[in-house]
Structures are given as structure tokens and as C-alpha cells.
Amino acid sequence: MAEPDISTGEKLESLKQVARHRPLFMASVLVLSLVSTLLEGIGLTFLYPIITAAQAEGDAVQNADGVTELFFQAYLTLGLPFTLEFLIVGLASVMVVRYSVSFLAKWLSSVLTVEYERYLRTHAYELALGATVSYYDDEGSDDILNAIITQTQYASGAIQQILSLVRQTLLCLMYASIALVIAPVLTVVATVVFGGLTYLIRHVLEPGYTVGDRVATANERVQENVQAGTQGIRDIKLFGMTDHLLSEFRTTIDRYTNSSIALYRNQIAIRSIYELGVAIVLFGLIYVAISRLALSISALGVFLFAMFRLGPRISGLNSMVYAIEGNLPHLVRTHRFIGRLEERQEPDGGTRSVPNPIDEVEFDDVSFTYDGEDGPVLSDITLRIDRGEFVGIVGQSGTGKSTVVSLLARIYDPTSGEIRANGTSIEEFDLREWRSNVAMVRQNPHIFNDTLRYNLTTGRDVSKGELRRVSEVAQISHFLDELAAGYDTPLGDDGVKLSGGQRQRVALARALLSDAELLILDEATSDLDSDLERRIHETIERLGDDRTVIAIAHRLSTVRTADRIYTVEKGRITESGSHHELLRNDGKYAYLHSIQHDSGEHA
């Protein structure tokens, strides 16, 4: 999906969201960074007394300037001798604390980053699982996968870089402040030159944000292409789509590579231009400081030291900002993705408990239009199903049969009208509880990349006897012996090791294992031969009066024995009755029956 442009406000909002996630943690990182910066400053000013002491050859306090005097007082208070050796020990101690604190700050920053990545992934996945099916219809699962796996990684990269930027900025400010105290004019001149250089570079190079956005988009396309290639591999081979797919892949990965190279090149260019500028400015400043300013040796030493530490950091700062701009789109996109998911969460439903047993289900004047579609798919559907009945729904392809049962399972909710169970709208029931009462078997069920046992039980504890019973009903026992490890045989990616009919039988057994009162079979046995299908249906019908079965079928023999059959045409129910009544009626059902009969299909 094409992403709209990202505004500065949105970028700031994204950063605020990160800060708000773990405010105390974030504050600790900032405080530690500040402390380490102050300690670096104290370490730097140690140069004053050290140079003074070195020059004074043991008589450090003679000719002492203000800063050295301060150190002298501090040493006196602590009862330490004010000698060169003790000054160096003092400097070393400050540095030990400074780097320990800085280690802590960096460590916590990493923890914060990785933790935020985990939060983003878990939260997004949780929301994705709770999102409505219509969200998936709109978005496509490859975009969702990209957002949860790849985007979040870049997003956390941006956070890591921002925290590092904060640490570096604090250090730069500290060096600049010390330099400002020692040589205000020179520092102002240096700031103006560096500022000018930044302005120039910003206007010559394409903004990191734009390039980063291109990288993010290209990356999404690459992932989509790979997913299409791997998931649809059979059709891709059969329809000779490999070359086309590969050429598309090459184009997108070229775009990704070129944008990434541009991003890295610009980052390196910024660093190099800065390093050059900084080197020239530094030597100019040193020349002026030595030849024109009457600075003491110790002041000059500290000034030069500060400048040498400041120079590379300033150039690093700029390429860091550029890199952040490159990664920020991923953070914003991830937040947008989460926002969209939050808007499209399935309602929990009402608070009412589902009646036990469900004596009747009725559709009262139900119409339905898919999100973003113009016209209704279903219009004025009114039907009633009593407990224990076997009801068939037939009609030509695309007339809305699957949509009817999707509404019953609350995959979607009606646009108008009401579906009721025992007289209560099903929207008033707790959604999970309602769904646990509806077991649906689809024509192309999903088979998990796990064992047969897992695919049947979906991870629940089920007794051996129960497993054997449903396997008999769904005729799984017929092919169980052919599986190398019986119930513990892995079925492969989406059940690749099973035939179409075997997959359907696994899904059927899975549905039968649930205690659902309503069993919906949406072309659930279409891949089986008529004989096997008939035997399965006979067994299901014998299961007892407490299970209501709704079967959608193209092959009319599947619903021949149904208590009642509804014919759907262009989203409307046009007739209903038993097989014989509908044949006598000589309407659509009779017509469908006659063409299947003529073509030799069992009807």
C-alpha cells in the first residue's frame, strides 16, 4: 500500500511516543548521559592544574589561575597532596567513573531500544491477531509481515541513533562551553563556520529523510515480491512466471540497493566534508590562539584539547542526524501501522452468554456490503435454522453463499438486518464465546506447518479415544496408516504433504473435535469423491440431534438429504424447501440439478 507523506509533526509525535513508553528508563538514560558529560568536563579541566603543576616543577600553587586554585582547595579539603602524581591519579579516577557511567548510559540505551522493538513487535502482532478480517482483505498479509518483522527493526535502529545523538550533543555542548569560556570570540567564529557548513551540506545533499523513505518503500516491495514467489511457487512454476517475478524482483532490489547506497554515500560525504572543514578550522583556530591571543599555556592546552575532541564529534553528529532521518520513516510507519490496527480491532461483542443449547438461528432481513464495495453482496436474507437440522445452501458461484455463513460466524457483521440466536442478536454475545459455538470448515482450509495431531487438536488436550472417533467420522483413519509417524507426522508448509481431499478431512475432524453446536461446511468436502463424501455426511448426520449442520455445496448430491435447502441468486434467497420440493418447484435448484445430472455429476 502506498504510504502518504510524513509530516514533521508526525515524526515528533512518533518520538514522543517512544519517550512516553518507558519515561523513567528514558529519564535515567538522559541523567546518566548528563552525568558522564559533566565528568568529561571535570576531566578536561584537570588539564589546568596538571599543566600548571608540570610547569611549576613541584610548586603547583605558584602562579595558579582560578581553576587551578579551585582544584587546590578541593585537594586540601580531601586531605590529598597537591602534586602532579596525585593530580594524574585524580584525573584517572574521574575518567574511571566517567566511562563507567557512560557504559551504563549506553547499556541502558541498548536495553531501551531492544525492549521497544520487542514491544512494537508484540503489540503489533497482538493487534494484528485481533484485527477484523476486512482489515486483512484491505491490507494484505505481506504488508503486515513486513511491518511486524522488518519495519520494527529499522524503527528501533532510529531510537538507538537518537539516544546516541543526545549523548554526543551533550558532549559537544560541554566542549563548546569550555572553549567559549576560554576564548569566546574564537568559539563564536568556529560555531558560525560549522553552522555555515551544515547549512551548505543540507542544501546540497538530498535530505536523509527522503532517501530513507525510498529505502523503506523499496524494502517493502522486495519483501512482497519474495513472499509472492515463495507462497505461490506451484502456480509460478506452472504458469511460467519465474522470469517475470525475477525481473520485478531485480527492479525493486535495484531500487533498494541504489537508495541504500545513496543514503550511505551521503552519510559518508557529510562526515568527510565535515572532517575536512573541521581540520582546516581547527588549525586556523590554533594558529590564532597561539599567535594572537594571550592565553596561558594551561588555558591554551585545555582549549586545544576541547577543540580536538569537539571536531570529530561535530562531523559525527551531522551524519548521525542524516542516518536518523533515514530510519525515522520506519518508526513513523510502524506507529501508523499500529494506529490503523487499533482502529480496525474486532469488537469484543456484547456481554451476554451464548444460550445453551442454541435452539434456533434466524437471519432477519439481513443485507451486507463489503467495505469499499459499491453494491450489496447480500440483500434481504431471511432464513431460520432449528437445532439439529441439516440445512443446505446452494447457488451459482459468486452469489454470496460463503458470505452468508461468514456473517453467521461473525467474520463480518451485517450492514443491516439482524442475525439472532434464540431471539437475541448474536452481536450481543461475547464474540469469542459465540465463535466457539460455530465450527466452520472451508474449501481451502489452512493446515499449520506442524503435526497431524496439532492440526486436529490445535494444541488442546484431547483424549486418544476422542481423536480416534473424529478420525473415523472424517475418514482420516483411511490414510493415517500411510503417514510415517501417524498422528505425529509433520504435514509440511500449509499441509503440502496432503492431497486436497485429505486436507479437507483434517479440517473437518478439527471442526468436529470442537464442541461447537453449529457446524458449517463451506464446500468442505468438495475435493472428495462422491462416495466418500456421502459416507462422511451420513456419519455426521448420525452424530445426533444436538448438532446443527449448514452445508454449502455446488455438488447438489451433498445436500440432497438436507431438511431444507436455500437457493441463493445474486445475493438473495429465491427459493427454499427439501430436495424433492425444490425439484417440483422447477426453479433454479431444478435447473442446477438438471445440468449436473446431464453432465454426469451425482445429484
Could you list the residues that contact ligand ATP (CB under 6 A)? 137, 370, 373, 377, 395, 397-403
* Interatomic CA distance for residues 418 and 350, integer angstroms: 14
In the complex, the smallest distance separating the C-beta of residue 37 from ligand ATP, rounded to whole angstroms, is: 56
Residue number with CB closer to ligand ATP (333 or 401): 401
Residue number with CB closer to ligand ATP (395 or 495): 395
Residue number with CB closer to ligand ATP (75 or 412): 412
* Interatomic CA distance for residues 522 and 435, integer angstroms: 16
In the complex, the smallest distance separating the C-beta of residue 370 from ligand ATP, rounded to whole angstroms, is: 3
Residue number with CB closer to ligand ATP (225 or 399): 399
- Taking residue 316's Cβ as centre, other Cβ atoms within 10 Å add up to 18
Query: Chain centroid to CA 89: how far?
Result: 51
In the complex, the smallest distance separating the C-beta of residue 111 from ligand ATP, rounded to whole angstroms, is: 42
- DSSP H/E element including 323: helix 297-343
Strand order in the sheet with 548-552: 438-441, 518-522, 548-552, 390-394, 564-569, 572-577
**φ, ψ at 451 (rounded to 5°):** -75, 165
In the complex, the smallest distance separating the C-beta of residue 531 from ligand ATP, rounded to whole angstroms, is: 23
Nearest by Cα to 414 from 429, 432, 426, 424: 426
In the complex, the smallest distance separating the C-beta of residue 414 from ligand ATP, rounded to whole angstroms, is: 13
Reduced 3-state DSSP string for 401-455: HHHHHHHHCCCCCCCEEEEEECCEEHHHEEHHHHHHCEEEECCCCCCCCCEHHHH
Return the sign of the alpha-carbon dihedral for residues 212, 213, 214, 217: positive
* Interatomic CA distance for residues 593 and 587, integer angstroms: 10
In the complex, the smallest distance separating the C-beta of residue 567 from ligand ATP, rounded to whole angstroms, is: 11
In the complex, the smallest distance separating the C-beta of residue 381 from ligand ATP, rounded to whole angstroms, is: 11
In the complex, the smallest distance separating the C-beta of residue 149 from ligand ATP, rounded to whole angstroms, is: 25
Nearest by Cα to 447 from 506, 509, 501, 508: 506
Query: Chain centroid to CA 227: how far?
Result: 16
In the complex, the smallest distance separating the C-beta of residue 591 from ligand ATP, rounded to whole angstroms, is: 16
Residue number with CB closer to ligand ATP (41 or 400): 400
* Interatomic CA distance for residues 179 and 105, integer angstroms: 25
Q: What is the DSSP letter of 569?
A: E
- DSSP H/E element including 312: helix 297-343
In the complex, the smallest distance separating the C-beta of residue 520 from ligand ATP, rounded to whole angstroms, is: 12
Cell of 550: 449448514
Nearest by Cα to 170 from 101, 124, 94, 219: 101
